[in-house]
Structure 1
Amino acid sequence: MTKGKSGTLVAELSRFKALYDGNSPIEEVFPDLVRQYPARYAGLGLADLCREMHGFLRAESIPVVVRDVYSRLPEPVMTPAEAYRRLVRGEVVQVPAGEIEGKTVAVMVVPYPLGIPVIMPGERCGQETRAVVDYLEILQEFDNLFPGFENEVHGVDVVTREGRRVYYAYCVSE
């Protein structure tokens, strides 16, 4: 990172802190967000929103869940190449992320950030790796509670059902 870029970053972080400390209205900080989701964000302050987000992640014990996701590997039941062949042949089904336990996934699932796969094609999420499912469910719920701040998760399709975002992953038909 260059001095110019780092200076810009520090300046923007300082600006954000001042907005946070003043609990500036979301309408002033993120006007497009309030226009898009007025029922959710109108009248809310930045510090209030940050506390709400932090409270959710803390209540869900997100650091513990993430640690558990990466501390145990899912069970490999076929090669990634075989899982891909099944995907290409259409021998897969879309499964809600909350229901992939016991299923063999056909795609790599990668939440950003971290950008590290939580499950690879050909792996099965079992009871000992239930944290993968828990993590995806937490991200999905965060998306629903905080529209406009959705998570980026490669390898899942997001479908809106009855006004809620639902994550789906392709799993090998069995």
Structure 2
Amino acid sequence: MSFNKVDVYIYLKRFDFSENPTPEFKRIQLDKDLEYTKLKQELENLLEIDLSEKKVIKIRNKDGVLIPLGDLQKGNDFDNPFYVEILNIHHTVPLAKNNANLLQDAYLDAIRQKIKSMESRVSQAELLIPQLQWRRQAHMDETVNTLSNRVAFLNRRIDELTPVEWKSKIPETIS
């Protein structure tokens, strides 16, 4: 095994060929440094997936949780294989030519509303940025003024409470 390759152990289920496939155990080697598109293409080549047909590749860990494709590059050991499922893309509801798909229209409208909402929030934020800078500066000025008043008060109190015999030994200004 070379240093830039990693061993990946998988159980492969091909739902694109049959509805109840038997899992096939495989060991494949993947490059650690591949970007996503090249990794997906290499995986399609290794698993002999026909690129002309639309397929879905689902990768699960030992607990059955879906994981991203990039997790394959970390590798695994023989005892903890990944479960890879290959499925055909299919629609559960046939699309009618005359009937509008109301669910799809509602989904698109919801996305449009979200985008409009986000655009209005961004424009409001752009309007508030100069006010926020002004408020921050005013707050800083107020804080500096308050602190200088408190330091002046403490200096006066120290001057008032200092015994007369010590005043000759203390410098004129403490602050």
Return the TM-score normalized by structure 1. Answer: 0.20
- Name the one with the larger helix percent: 1
Q: Which has the larger radius of gyration?
A: 2
